[in-house]
Amino acid sequence: MTSHSQGIQQLLQAEKRAKDKLEEAKKRKGKRLKQAKEEAVAETDQYRMQREKEFHLKQSKVREMPALTSRSSDEVFLRAPGLPCSR
pLDDT in tens, 14-52: 999 999 999 999 999 999 999 999 999 999 999 999 999
81 in a structural domain: no
67 in a structural domain: no
74 in a structural domain: no
**What is the overall mean pLDDT for the chain?**
85
For 86, residues 6+ apart whose C-beta sits below 8 A from its C-beta are 78
Where in the sequence is the domain holding 53, given as residue range(s)?
Answer: 28-61
7 in a structural domain: no
Q: What is the pTM of this model?
A: 0.55
Please give the tally of structural domains in the chain. Answer: 1
Rounded Cα distance, 16 and 21, in Å: 9
Q: What is the dihedral of CA 66, 72, 75, 76, to 10 degrees?
A: 50
